[in-house]
Amino acid sequence: VPTLLFTAAVNTVRVIRHARKKPKPANQATVTAADRPVTVEWSNVTCKLSASKSSKEKIILEGVSGVATPGRVLAILGPSGSGKTTLLNTLAGRLPASSKIHLFGHVTRNGVPVDHDDQPVAYVTQDDLFFSQLTVRETLHIAAQMTLPANMSTDDKHRFADALIRKLGLLSTVNTRVGDEKSRGISGGEKKRLSLACELISTPKLILCDEPTSGLDAFQAAKVMASLRDLAQAGHTVICSIHQPSSSIFNMCDDIVLLAGGRVAYAGATADAPAHFENLGYPMPERCNPAERYLDLISVDFSSSETVAESNSRIDKLLSAFHRHVPTRGSKHDTDDEVQKVKSIQQAPSRLGMFGKVRLLFQRAWKQVTRDKKTNISRFMSSFMSALLFGAIYWRIGNTQTTIQDRLGLLQVCTINTAMTALVKTLNVFSKESVLVNRERVRGSYGVAQYFISKLLAEMPVSAFFPLVFSMTVYPMVRLSSGLGKILRFIGIVTLESFTAASYGLFIGALMPSTEAALAVGPSSFVLQIVFGGLYVTDENVPGWASWIPRISLIKHAYEGLCVNEFRGLEFQAERPYDVKTGDQVLQRMTWEDSTVLKTCISQARVLVFNYLATFAILTLKKPRFEKLQHGNDIDDEEESAVIIEADDLPNGQLSAADATSKAGA
């Protein structure tokens, strides 16, 4: 027992000492891991879309194998729908998860299965999303500050970003705003190179680009490809999908993978492709763009039933000819060793802390909101013009009996107008922004909380300005109840309502899958809130099943608050015995005699907090998830049994060994 106790004590001291040991500087080790050239190998990658009521099972990729090596550009070519993006997503480990998709096969980077590899990867998707009001330099500086290790000085981070700007030929645009469809900024090709630069901040060795040349003119496309080729020559492994490359672009590709209907028609060096196709009876005509020739060979000509049959038999021939001679690569993986090797190297660089990120995101959001002059001017005009219109309609309202109804109407249109303006603006901006934010979250740049806090802080002052403009215009024009307290409360209620409507926009925007869906659902769901907003149905008459609606109706809380503020203590000219003499009588009719402005604001604040929390929860839950590769031989077994059934169905009951092996492999 004493020996055991002694040994335990010694071990405990050792463990504590070990734990106290200063960890290795993270970035130093990271450089080691990230600096290793990357060889990507994939074998038997098969992607199936399960059958639904309306369609049969679809095979998107079938037994696709290949390899991409450092220092070379590999292009994935194929007709539209041949599976290029699906393959690229799979190689990046970013095929969106779906219950309908089943992904099989092996993808490794330096022998490590893609699921276990934490090394940074640059993945440039087709859509280039940025904060439109930031300049090229600001965009990259912020990305550098987010991504590079915390123990690197800000100046060094900026220098690193500036070096990327030079490397990707963006020097002439450094101070130009990125722009969007509303305000013109940098060109499409420059956006693509900026996307690439943003991805390169994390110093990845592997670069994947989905259709980097699509939508660009020949000059811009060539510049983007030249950047990719330069990166490959600097030791990166570059894989990109390309739709219809010109010969100059095609010539920049060292290797190609030709996909036809999700299967490989050729994979290997670009230089070897002409001989391969010539051997199969398809020589390269003179002065022909090789890419066009290959794509013609693997595309179906739909002009007539004969041409369809002819193309199908040619494609089958090309697919099976390539399949017979292609060497199977990388099906055996030294998983454990390599995983351990990579894991033993400290990978994750320590980045900015929580507050550093909030500060940086706040700066970005602030620039985005305050610099967007077009949006701000249109919001100003909308608030000012609607206030002018309401002011003109209810000009100097007075206090006759008929003004009771007018006041109720005015306050109602004020609440609806304020809420709609804030809601639609938020829906428009947030649904698009959330796609970009999700992308940055996948890169691990920051979390939902940091994004959310900084966004709210940055937008608050600007969002408060427009309700102020509206209130300060409409109030004196209409001459609502006098008194500074009343005016300030009016502004406060309208501002709080505007924030709550914006928070509702965030909630709907986060919940809905697209901007279009959010714009359809958001305003239409307001109709119910308006109906139960206090003017059309009094609280007492709300049916039991709908009693929850007024409680969550931001229109109702704002309307009730504005009515209480306006009518309490107000007196009307009463000539007939049945005339209403005071505003309190009006409130009594509306069942709000006990209500106070404070109470309505507390109810409104509850809705606001609920919307924020719900948005936060949805964003956290909706973090993009990716399909995991299913390993093992299950697919091979499945296919093998499928081949046996096919063989039984044949008239002579036999298949040649070569055919059976080929089909089982596929």
Ligand X SMILES: Nc1ncnc2c1ncn2[C@@H]1O[C@H](COP(=O)(O)OP(=O)(O)OP(=O)(O)O)[C@@H](O)[C@H]1O
Q: Summarize as ranges the residues that interact with ligand X (CB under 6 A).
A: 49, 60, 78, 80-86, 98, 101, 243
Question: Which C-beta is closer to ligand X: that of 64 or that of 587?
Answer: 64
Nearer to ligand X, 298 or 635 (CB): 298
Q: How far is the CB of 315 from ligand X (least distance, A)?
A: 15
Q: Please name which of 356, 317, 328 lies closest in space to residue 152, comparing C-alpha atoms.
A: 356
Nearer to ligand X, 301 or 659 (CB): 301
Nearer to ligand X, 98 or 313 (CB): 98
Q: Give 250 or 592: the residue with its C-beta nearer to ligand X.
A: 250
- Smaller CB separation from ligand X, 110 or 213: 213
DSSP string covering 60-110? EEEEEEEEE-TT-EEEEE-STTSSHHHHHHHHHT-PBP-TTEEEEEEEEET
Euclidean distance between CA atoms 464 and 491, whole angstroms:
10
Kindly state the smallest distance separating residue 243's Cβ from ligand X, in Å: 5
Please state the closest distance from residue 632 (CB atom) to ligand X, in A.
23
Count of other CB atoms within 10 angstroms of residue 354: 12
Alpha carbon distance 180, 172 (integer Å)? 19
In whole angstroms, give the CA distance from residue 9 to residue 3. Answer: 10
Are 665 and 328 in contact, with CB atoms under 8 Å apart?
A: yes
* E-state strands within 291-392: none
Which two tokens mark 262?
């999700």
Q: Both ends of the chain: CA-CA distance in Å?
A: 63
Are residues 611 and 506 in contact, defined by beta-carbon separation less than 8 angstroms?
Answer: yes
Please state the closest distance from residue 214 (CB atom) to ligand X, in A. 8
Task: Identify the three-state secondary structure at position 534.
Answer: coil
Q: Which is nearer to ligand X, 48 or 407 (CB)?
A: 48
Which of 447-454's residues contact partners 24+ apart within 8 Å by CB, and which partners?
A: 448/616, 448/619, 448/620, 449/354, 449/616, 450/354, 450/357, 450/358, 450/361, 451/361, 451/619, 452/612, 452/615, 452/616, 452/619, 453/358, 454/357, 454/358, 454/359, 454/360, 454/361, 454/362, 454/364, 454/365
For the CB of residue 477, give the shortest distance to ligand X in the complex, in Å: 55
Nearer to ligand X, 239 or 414 (CB): 239
In terms of CB distance, is 46 or 86 closer to ligand X?
86
CB 171, min distance to ligand X, A: 32
Contact 152, 88 (CB under 8 A): no
The residues, ordered by sequence, that sit 6+ positions from 28 with a Cβ below 8 Å of its Cβ are none
Q: Which of 542, 67, 645 is nearest to 328 (CA)?
A: 67
Q: Which residue, 81 or 283, has its beta carbon nearer to ligand X?
A: 81
